[in-house]
Amino acid sequence: MVTKTLRGSYDAPRRSYAVSLENYMGDNEEMISDSQCRTLKNLILQKVQEEGERERFLANLPDMTHADAEDSIFNLLRSNW
């Protein structure tokens, strides 16, 4: 599990933060897991009625990160398409 944290910069006023984009965005993002992929496919087929939108979602699955997949699953579960 990847945890992203902001570090305070003590060289500047406390209200400012120095954030390294490399550390924050991370190049080592985990890719979508098989179980997430299955869950998302099922949710997309159940919830997304418009065929063009459905195909777009399904085409993007292999390139998704673990965090993106979590967000998409959450959004599909809480929304009515």
Is the pTM value of this prediction over 0.75? Answer: no
Task: Judge whether 45 lies within some domain.
Answer: yes
Alpha-carbon dihedral 33, 34, 39, 43, rounded to 10 degrees: 90
Q: What is the tens place of the pLDDT at every residue in 5-52?
A: 555 555 544 555 555 555 555 555 799 999 999 999 999 999 999 999
Q: Which domain holds residue 35?
A: 7-78
Residue 69 banded pLDDT, cuts 50, 70, 90: very high
Task: Judge whether 1 lies within some domain.
Answer: no
Residue 4 banded pLDDT, cuts 50, 70, 90: low
Task: Judge whether 2 lies within some domain.
Answer: no
Q: What is the mean pLDDT of residues 60-68?
A: 94
Residue type, 21: L
Task: Judge whether 34 lies within some domain.
Answer: yes
